[in-house]
Amino acid sequence: MSTSNHARPPTAGGTPDDQRREEARQYVRELRVFYIHASVFAVGMVIIFLVNLATNVAAGITGEWWAWWSAWALLGWGIAVGIHGLVVRLSRPDSSPSTWEQQQIDKILSSQETEQP
């Protein structure tokens, strides 16, 4: 007799805890994709820069600013990675259902409790 854990089938409504868990899973997936994008960007930019450097050295134009076309790739692709990171960050689920005001109230109340003898 084998024991295996099967995932529960999704319910139509789900509990708030299930919804928060699913939102967290989705965020982690998006974050993983962003990390892959950023890693490919870093490796790709190193390769692009080395190709640009090699062609400039071969042509003897390393001192000319206009010969460094890899800067355009860095700028364009860097903006795309930055926007991707911003989108992922803004889609982050709330860590708690409380509002900022409630968090500040809790801080004040907890600090007052510790001050009392």
Is 14 part of a structural domain of the chain?
Answer: no
Is 7 part of a structural domain of the chain?
Answer: no
Going residue by residue through the chain (117 aa), what tens digit of pLDDT does each one get? Answer: 444 445 545 555 678 888 889 999 999 999 999 999 999 999 999 999 999 999 999 999 999 999 999 999 999 999 999 999 999 999 998 765 567 787 788 888 888 777 766
Is 11 part of a structural domain of the chain?
Answer: no
What's the total number of domains in the chain? 1
Is 12 part of a structural domain of the chain?
Answer: no
Is 97 part of a structural domain of the chain?
Answer: yes
Report the pLDDT value the prediction gives residue 28, as an integer from 0 to 100: 95
Q: 34: how many CB neighbours lie within 10 A of its CB?
A: 17
Is 9 part of a structural domain of the chain?
Answer: no
Report the pLDDT value the prediction gives residue 2, as an integer from 0 to 100: 46
**Residue 52: domain span:** 20-115
Residue 31 in contact with residue 90, Cβ under 8 Å? no
Is 54 part of a structural domain of the chain?
Answer: yes
Report the pLDDT value the prediction gives residue 117, as an integer from 0 to 100: 62
DSSP H stretches of helix in 4-99: 16-59, 70-90
Is 50 part of a structural domain of the chain?
Answer: yes
Q: Name 61's Cβ contacts closer than 8 Å, sequence gap at least 6.
A: 67
Report the pLDDT value the prediction gives residue 95, as an integer from 0 to 100: 65
